[in-house]
Amino acid sequence: MSGDNHKGIRLLRKEVLNSLQGAESCCFLRQLLHFYMDKVFISYISSHSLHRRTTSVLANSFLGIAKDLRVCHADAHCECSEDATLKLADIQTMYNKLDQTAGTVKAIGELDSLFEWLESFQHN
Looking at the domain assignment, is residue 109 inside a domain?
yes
Please check the confidence at residue 47 and state whether its pLDDT lies above 70: yes
Distance of CA 87 to the CA centre of its chain: 12
Looking at the domain assignment, is residue 73 inside a domain?
yes
Looking at the domain assignment, is residue 59 inside a domain?
yes
Looking at the domain assignment, is residue 16 inside a domain?
no
Cβ atoms < 10 Å from Cβ of 55 = 19
CATH number at residue 97: 1.20.1250.10
Write out pLDDT tens, residues 67-97. Answer: 877 776 666 666 778 888 999 999 999 999 9
pTM of the model: 0.84
Looking at the domain assignment, is residue 10 inside a domain?
no
Number of domains in the chain: 1
* Least confident residue range of 1-5, 67-71, 101-105, 108-112: 1-5
Which residues span the domain enclosing 78?
22-123
